[in-house]
Structure 1
Amino acid sequence: MILACDIGLKRIGLAIYLNQIILPLEPILRKNRNQASNELSQLLKNRQITTLIVGIPNSQSINAQETKKRIIFFISLLETQAKIVFIDEDLTSFEAQNNLTYLKKEKRQEAQKNGIIDSLAACKILERYLSNPKASLIMS
């Protein structure tokens, strides 16, 4: 089973590939990195995830490089036997927000706050992986 995640400072968006369908899951709301890594580790175990797809910025900007380091450190906290694959997440949150343009402004803001957009971004990350599984990023 495959799970994708969009790791942020406040929320971790999640999406699962189930019966050849990509489904968003309830995001993990981060209180701290230990709580979030424990919740994600438990989810990986409970769902018997064999592959974890992790969105990571591919940009060379200083902010992107700092985010990349933070994500790699967070992933190192996980207790899992799942194969970990890093995929370019650039613009996935923007694409996810564009999927919600039909909503009124207040509903879009609510989707941002409660993590729906983060899980939709995880869906985009999973789509990228499934469309080209060999496009994983090499981490140095």
Structure 2
Amino acid sequence: MRTLAIDLGTRRVGIALSDEGGRFATALDVLTITTPSQAADEVLAIINRESPTRLVVGLPLNMDDSVGPAAKQTIAWAKDLSRRAGLPVVFIDERLSSFEAEQHLNDRKRGGERMTRQMKKERLDAIAAASFLQAFLDGRLGGIDVGGDR
């Protein structure tokens, strides 16, 4: 089962994709956006190109597990995308994924990889998406019930 993971932000959207067997996550792309509708259109183009069978969307919950305004916007956006794409969506807690992605990039830099701040910024969101997708594929992160269909 091929899965597309989305880390939705206000300026950038991280995209990751699993292999056909649904075992390995790979950072795919970071989209620079100006509006949520632009993000949806660009993600739909990726869905059409890559043919995933489900979507995994990172949900930015508050640290106290409550659903704040950013999480509510993400839920509405992802449900609309799910409807438009005709694919099921699974919501995943992504609160620490950006921190983990930054640590991963720092480790690579310490290992000798040359990386500017701009390069780091451009990769961070896709690596965050790959991080929570891999945790989901490995069974370390379960889906979050947000109510409603899909």
- The alignment yields a C-alpha RMSD, in angstroms, of 2.4
Deviation at 1:28, TM superposition (A): 1.4
Letter in 2 for 1:14: I
Within 5 Å, give how 1:82-101 maps onto structure 2. Answer: 82-101=87-106
Distance in 2, Cα, partners of 1:77 & 1:137:
17
1:129 matched to 2:136? The reply is yes
Letter in 1 for 2:15: L
Distance in 2, Cα, partners of 1:23 & 1:62:
27
Unmatched tracts of structure 2, length 5 or more = none
The answer (yes or no) to whether the contact 1:50–1:81 under 8 Å persists in 2 is no
Which stretch of structure 1 is more off in the superposition, 91-100 or 13-22? Answer: 13-22
Cα 1:133–1:42 change in 2 (3 A) is: farther
1:103 matched to 2:109? The reply is yes
List 4+ stretches of structure 1 deviating above 6 A: none
Aligned length: 138
The answer (yes or no) to whether the contact 1:15–1:23 under 8 Å persists in 2 is yes
Cα 1:64–1:96 change in 2 (3 A) is: farther
Unmatched tracts of structure 1, length 5 or more = none
Distance in 2, Cα, partners of 1:80 & 1:51:
9
Among 50, 69, 73, the alignment partner of 1:70 is 73
* TM-score of the aligned structures, taking structure 1 as reference length: 0.85
Deviation at 1:27, TM superposition (A): 1.2
Distance in 1, Cα, partners of 2:96 & 2:135:
12
Aligned to 2:58: 55
Distance in 2, Cα, partners of 1:118 & 1:127:
14
Which stretch of structure 1 is more off in the superposition, 2-11 or 41-50? Answer: 41-50
Distance in 2, Cα, partners of 1:82 & 1:133:
23
Cα 1:9–1:112 change in 2 (3 A) is: farther
Letter in 1 for 2:97: T
Identity of aligned residues (%): 26
